[in-house]
Amino acid sequence: MTADPIFEFALRMGDNCLVLGQSVSAWCGHAPILEEDIALANVALDLIGQTRMWLGLAGEVEGKGRSADDLAFLRDARAFRNCLLVEQPNGDFGQTLMRQFLFDAWHHPMLKTLAGATDVRIAEIAEKSVKEAAYHLDRSTDLIVRLGDGSDESHHRMQAALDGLWSYTGELYAADATDEAIVVAGLSDIEEQYKDYTSKTFDEATLTIPDATFMHKGGKAGLHTEALGPLLADMQILQRSHPGAQW
């Protein structure tokens, strides 16, 4: 592994988008209503587009000739650096929406902050991505509130999803040496922004944040849950079966 923190950081940002985009895309043709089917497909496409930029930067910094496609399709799970939240299974529609909201509530302020990074390559990717992330956050926030404060059934499902996923959120803003090496003002404020925004949203949605005495971590270091392996197998099967195949 290269010692360059920008390579590691770009992998983290890109892998987050790649893994979540792959999971969200699985709803195409299966969402509860046509509007949501189209919306989720668009969210997935946005995330894959951001993936190409982040993994493209990682390949450039690494300097070993690996492209964004190589990094996406030819790494094993241990080499992925996504947070554990995004690899959690789709579950029912409520779990998919809750996972999206919990990610969006971090992703948008993170990109806004990164737009001020001293490394111009990181800043440019963040600036190109932040408008998409703002739309994702607006959309997921609206759905969390509508379903959380909706029928008894929708409230129950959204609360169950929150209970199951909240313990994966701590890793999002837990900074380590790689994060600290990215020179940008305000990075340490992400945790406060995240907790404030999610708390207000859940109050409006009449949902209760569970008491979490433990937060899962390890994804940033390549230690993943069993859910990632099957997801990567589906995503990588064509390239693994036919190396170098082109349309």
User: For residues 18 and 74, is the Cβ–Cβ distance under 8 A?
Assistant: no
pLDDT at 2: 46
pLDDT at 246: 76
Calpha distance 195→191 (Å, rounded): 6
Calpha distance 54→16 (Å, rounded): 10
- In one-letter notation, the amino acid at residue 29 is G
Compute φ and ψ for 46, nearest 5 degrees. Answer: -60, -45
- In one-letter notation, the amino acid at residue 105 is A
User: For residues 145 and 222, is the Cβ–Cβ distance under 8 A?
Assistant: no
Burial environment of residue 32 by CB neighbours within 10 A (0 to 12, 13 to 18, 19 or more): exposed
The pTM of the full predicted model, rounded to 2 decimals, is: 0.95
Residue ranges for the chain with pLDDT beneath 70: 1-3, 247
Cite the DSSP H helix spans in the chain. 5-25, 34-62, 68-73, 93-114, 120-148, 152-165, 170-173, 177-181, 190-204, 228-241
pLDDT at 1: 44
In angstroms, the Cα distances linking 71 to 16, 51, 55, 170 are 13, 10, 7, 26
- In the chain the domains, ranked by start, together with CATH numbers, are 5-241 (1.20.1260.10)
